[in-house]
Amino acid sequence: MIKFDHLRIPVSDLARSRGWYLRTLSLTVEFEMPDRQTVALQDTDGFTIFLQQVRPPVLPNQCALWFQVEDVDATFTDWSARGVTFAHGPRKSYWASRSAGESERVTLTGRRVRHV
């Protein structure tokens, strides 16, 4: 079995991005490398996102990142209260039992247990 371990995301403002991922997604700081302008943020299952500051502009490469959550509706409500602006509210989609799309950074998915 292969399990994703980490992902690097280039950002133009490390402090702002770090704060957003900590505050909005409740990730925790695993470690920081100030000399490389990089911070490693981890979820509750051990997946690490490396945020690394790069010179602007950060060019989108058409990649997307999905987060699986226990309850799409509750997470949508909670994150909306934190200031996350979603492109659409929770709804049924062809690839998940329920999903909510955020405009820039994250899509929430709630999959049925048999799909996990």
Judged on CB neighbours under 10 Å (0-12, 13-18, 19+), 50 is: middle
- 22-69 confidence digits (pLDDT tens): 988 889 999 999 999 999 999 988 889 999 999 888 876 656 667 777
pLDDT-based confidence at residue 112 (cuts at 50, 70, 90): very low
Instruction: Find out whether 108 and 102 touch, Cβ atoms under 8 Å.
Output: yes
Cα(30)–Cα(28) distance, integer angstroms = 6
Q: Check residues 39 and 8 and name the one with the higher pLDDT.
A: 39
- pTM comes to 0.67
Domains of the chain by start residue, with CATH? 1-59 (3.10.180.10), 64-116 (3.10.180.10)
